[in-house]
Structure 1
């Protein structure tokens, strides 16, 4: 059984700590919850004790300090519905996620904890990889540059700047060819345009005008072209430099193969094949240690002889050579395989290497390589193979993290779908009963029934907005012809008690079925904030391939200072109720369709006489023979 999670809860409310303990216990997640009411005590605890996760009130300064004290520990905010602005600021200071106290359930808490832990591990792994590459480039004897597809310099190493006499930052955004002697510029330009790896000698021009003879080695990368530059004035070191460039090229190809793989099988088969082919081995295999760390299973194989002892699995990790390879993370090289392993005499293997696959400081498997010819493992090749084992380990961990994230995402979506379905059913029933009560009652009781109905409709609006946001995030827009008359007419039925005026125009726009959410939020806001006497006028006109829609109301209007901010997420207007996402959805959808949205005074210069929301949409020819 894995160790329980240690959670540090930093909140002035002892009830929050008790609630977190009870919810985790109910969820069946083994955990230890430590509560500190004072941030100073909590920050001191972070220095002396390890924690897997921090849950704390949304204090931006405490979040920043906690991130400095425990940079590898995920931070989840405990927020209230009425304090989302503070939560947003705290998220900007380094928090990883948030939980709304009023909405916490065992399933939501477990999903949030797992999601925060997974994201933090992935971020740490990516930062470690970035640091590794910076270290590799910084220690290379040759200069390294990266240019985009237009030939603009994106990166220049310190050695590159030294060769040319510039500061590294001075070289950024400059054309690569500006560093080439003009006489050699045409050849250098042609070299940059090659599809594969290529090299040639050129003359570069230093900052002081001096010409420098160099050998350029170029190869394509995702963003453009990587350029290795060897100063051929240092001829005694040329072979060493060339060797390093070859190593870097091989590692780069292995990494590219790993990052382009869709699943674990493709990843392992791809990097094994690339390693075998690039280094000239006869075959190879990859083994991954099982979850119980009792044995290593064969995960990929290319060209292994039938008589090879370890062809199927590594059953005993304590037997040589795997006691050192898998147990200690030490590579094992054999150049006289028939003598060392006479049991494999019929396999035809002459040389053998077993390289530990490492990730985050631990061994997770091994890659075996065999040669049917005499083979000597030079120090450079041993170093290269060790680096490849580390790269494979990093790629495996990234793939595992991605799969765990995908599974967590699927689980979260499942719970959200179930919750949305059940709440919608409950809301529909409640609205029906509230309508019956409203018809049967009179006086204060009738007003109370209407308030109940309004509250349930607000719940339904929240669920609808959540579903809309999910679809916006997950679906690729596919705009098609949509009738404005049909959408406005259909949405107006949701507000039967409101005075909504619209004269059908027969206009069609390029949108999809989410367009109704734009009108639901605009009309709903007008009704919500304008009261029963409000009049809403909807108009639409087409000009130069664009349809401009206006939704004007006679409500309280929007002050000038708030107009530029109303479409921000979680932004509320003054003391108004709501979650601050309705107009954000309007803005997101309109821009998704290629339009824009803004707000004005219904009567120019008189904000208290009502608001006018206007937005544009691309016009679209109507569908023949269709009215909706």
Structure 2
């Protein structure tokens, strides 16, 4: 398959030699170099010949509905079975709006009456059909990828975490003192990871079905308190001062994990006794939160870079997923996140989230 900005290879299935010559003439005479530099045309007279053709080398199929083997939409049905990944543009000698809509519903990218053809319109229709088809294939591939990752979360991660949790629960019942506390920590963290995995699976499932999670009213103070508890469970010596109350933002159930990742990032890089101060201001459209710590801070040159996938600080034991996840989720809420220097010289993560009315 060629690059549509330089060359396009088109397969024409047309049993009328005169109509085939007319299509070739239109493409040869089209002033459409702004759309595609060169269009190559291969003419076949039947769908049977298509079965013997190397379809992968073509970018689009021009299809006449009146062929020796079949006529009307039956021809289109047969063609879609033969060329599943090739955009099909129907050519017809009749003006029939009902049939044109039927063709689109059954998989055609476009429907052109032969009497309306000219070079520019034909080249433009081919170009747009190819672009749309590639976009659709990309969306299908992404949906397949999300379904695959969802399956991994279900069968590998969730199953494994449930085993870990069960063993931790068993140990907690049979140990005393510090060992019992360690086992209970395993259970608590297993519960957190299982819960997060289920939430991510829900997001992946929604996106794979071409939808979006519905935004809800979230009590920001309660969400921040829950996220702070998670940080304290990892490092009891850390201090989280949450000054945010009586504020609501529009987000989904993963918002607690967004802030949980920010607090845990501060603990990891600022030390077990790090102090985190959370404040917020309310504007007409957005709530702006400032999560400031007294850790070593982040240099200006790295402040945008840390949100990229796989990025992590030197000596970090993490995967580089946490801040990438935070940035992705905040953007999905219609918000923004950036980093400044805190008053104590540490890092201040500034999160802008849409208000609810």
Question: So what's the TM-score if we normalise by structure 2?
Answer: 0.57
Residues 413 and 132 of structure 1: CA distance in aligned 2, closer, same or farther (over 3 Å): same
Does the 8 Å contact 1:484/1:506 carry over to 2?
yes
CA distance in 2 between counterparts of 1:517 and 1:597 reads 15
Equivalent residue, structure 2, for 1:470: 204
CA distance in 2 between counterparts of 1:503 and 1:406 reads 41
Question: So what's the TM-score if we normalise by structure 1?
Answer: 0.35
Question: What is the number of residues matched between the two proteins?
Answer: 272
Q: How does 1:157-556 map to 2 (within 5 A)?
A: 157=37, 275-276=65-66, 410=147, 413-430=150-167, 432=169, 440-441=177-178, 463=197, 467=201, 470=204, 473-474=207-208, 475-495=211-231, 496=233, 497=236, 498-556=238-296
CA distance in 2 between counterparts of 1:458 and 1:574 reads 26
Aligned with residue 143 of structure 1, among 20, 30, 46:
30
Residues 400 and 483 of structure 1: CA distance in aligned 2, closer, same or farther (over 3 Å): closer
User: Is the counterpart of residue 595 in structure 1 residue 311 in structure 2?
Assistant: no
Residues 458 and 561 of structure 1: CA distance in aligned 2, closer, same or farther (over 3 Å): farther
CA distance in 2 between counterparts of 1:510 and 1:403 reads 29
CA deviation string 1:520-573 (max 9, x = no partner): 211121223333322222222202321011112233332333222110000111
CA distance in 2 between counterparts of 1:562 and 1:359 reads 48
CA deviation string 1:169-216 (max 9, x = no partner): xxxxxxxxxxxxxxxxxxxxxxxxxxxxxxxxxxxxxxxxxxxxxxxx
CA distance in 1 between counterparts of 2:247 and 2:24 reads 60
Alpha-carbon shift at residue 275 of structure 1 (Å): 0.4
Does the 8 Å contact 2:287/2:355 carry over to 1?
yes
User: Is the counterpart of residue 619 in structure 1 residue 355 in structure 2?
Assistant: yes
Q: How does 1:106-125 map to 2 (within 5 A)?
A: none
Equivalent residue, structure 2, for 1:569: 309
CA distance in 2 between counterparts of 1:400 and 1:504 reads 45
CA distance in 1 between counterparts of 2:75 and 2:327 reads 51
CA distance in 1 between counterparts of 2:348 and 2:139 reads 46
When Rg is computed on C-alpha atoms for both structures, the one with the higher figure is 1
Equivalent residue, structure 2, for 1:132: 9
Alpha-carbon shift at residue 487 of structure 1 (Å): 1.3
The answer to which structure has the higher strand fraction is 1
Unaligned runs of 5+ in 2: 13-22, 44-61, 85-125
CA distance in 2 between counterparts of 1:427 and 1:457 reads 10
Q: How does 1:7-86 map to 2 (within 5 A)?
A: none
CA distance in 2 between counterparts of 1:437 and 1:555 reads 39
